[in-house]
Amino acid sequence: MNVLITGGAGYIGAQLVGELSANKDIDRIVIYDNLSRGNYNVFLGNKLKTAAKVQFVKGDILDSRSLKKQLNNGINVVYHLAARVTTPFANLDPHIYEQVNHWGTAEVVSAVEESKESRLIYMSSTSVYGASDQQAKEDTKPNPKTFYGISKLRAEQHVNRLVEKGRAIIIRAGNVYGYSPSMRFDAVINKFAFDANFLNRISIQGTGKQARAFIHVEAISKILKDILFANVPSGTYNLALSNYSVLELVDVYKELIPELEFIFLDQHLEMRNFTLDTNLNLSKHLKLPEVRDLKTEIKEFLGNFAF
């Protein structure tokens, strides 16, 4: 089986490359990335034991000619992870979200359609649901509140053409956290880890009572790999294994680092709330990883810092 990963040098992509390269049923992995985030870490460090099956193509998802050339070279499955995220500034610069997340996905879908043999696994986001005090389920009506969420929902509309033909799966993922060869520090758990370790202080926006749905980067990468070999019907699936409030996260960091300081910013503001029903439809088709102890996960994460 030959696989192409758009955004393969990114946060989830780098972890997924490691998962797929260790699988004997995967013959070739193409990392397709424009390196706009300066993600070079996937190319460094420990050499992959099966490095011969991995190749890198510098390309942009808006470059339809380059995309189609790659897909017409025997690609069976496309993981579409490439996106403009920039959490927590998901409500700035609507043009870039529209260009990359919406129309970039349209180009990927078009290339998959033309290849006629490929199928698509698209990484969407629970941001398409917006904010609510009710836990979201697969049948919850999307109501995005940010330009990022709007762009991901518009992208899904293109992917649905392939879903209707039985050739695509949409994964609406919660906030991804944890150590990856290609790190991001803009999402809350990862940012807290960096600030706690190096600054000994974390900043809390609003009251801290706001909650989010989360999934560890190792868990989501394993699930994405397992989808390849499971009989998962085309459709849209939510994916998060836990819900935590910001104050719950702070408690864990304080337990691990007792001298840690924390300050509240704009404490009078009620921040948007979003949680997910973790009784997932995806669990009907494949075995999901066990939920690990958050304190253990964060302790492991802190242990990855050089000092």
244-255 tens-digit pLDDT: 999 999 999 999
Cis link prior to 142 (omega < 30° from 0)? no
Residue 84 tokens read as 């403009």
* pLDDT, position 268: 84
Q: How much is the pLDDT for 47?
A: 77
Q: Is 20 exposed, middle or buried (0-12, 13-18, 19+ CB in 10 A)?
A: buried
Do 48 and 24 touch, CB atoms closer than 8 A? Answer: no
269 burial via Cβ count (<10 Å: 0-12, 13-18, 19+): exposed
| Nearest C-alpha neighbor of 212 from the set 294, 267, 287, 150 | 294
The proportion of the chain whose per-residue pLDDT surpasses 70, expressed as a percent, equals: 98
- Could you read off the pLDDT of 135-170 as tens digits, one per residue? 999 999 999 988 999 999 999 999 999 999 999 999
End-to-end CA distance of the chain: 40
Cβ-proximal residues to 95 (8 Å cutoff; 6+ apart), any chain: none
- How far apart are the C-alpha atoms of 113 and 163, rounded to whole Å? 11
The two tokens of residue 53 are 């099956």
For the cut 80, the answer to whether the pLDDT of residue 93 exceeds it is: no
The average pLDDT across 268-273 equals 86
Indicate whether 108 pLDDT > 60.
Answer: yes
Mean pLDDT of the chain: 93
pLDDT digit string, tens, across residues 214-259: 999 999 999 999 999 999 999 999 999 999 999 999 999 999 999 9
Task: Supply the pLDDT for residue 92.
Answer: 64
Residue pointed to by tokens 């009251």: 207
**What is d(CA 107, CA 217) in angstroms, rounded to the nearest whole number?**
26
H-helix or E-strand spanning residue 292: none
Q: 38-69 burial, b for 16+ CB within 10 Å, e for fewer?
A: ebeebeeeeeeeeeebbebbebbbbebebbbe
pLDDT tens per residue across span 278-306: 999 999 999 999 999 999 999 999 999 99
Does the pLDDT at position 89 exceed 60? no
Distance CA 58, CA 32 (A): 6
Evaluate if residue 87 carries a pLDDT over 80: no
Query: Range with the lowest mean pLDDT among 86-95, 191-200, 212-221, 253-262?
Result: 86-95
- DSSP string across 123-165: EEEGGGG---SSPB-TTSPP---SHHHHHHHHHHHHHHHHHTT
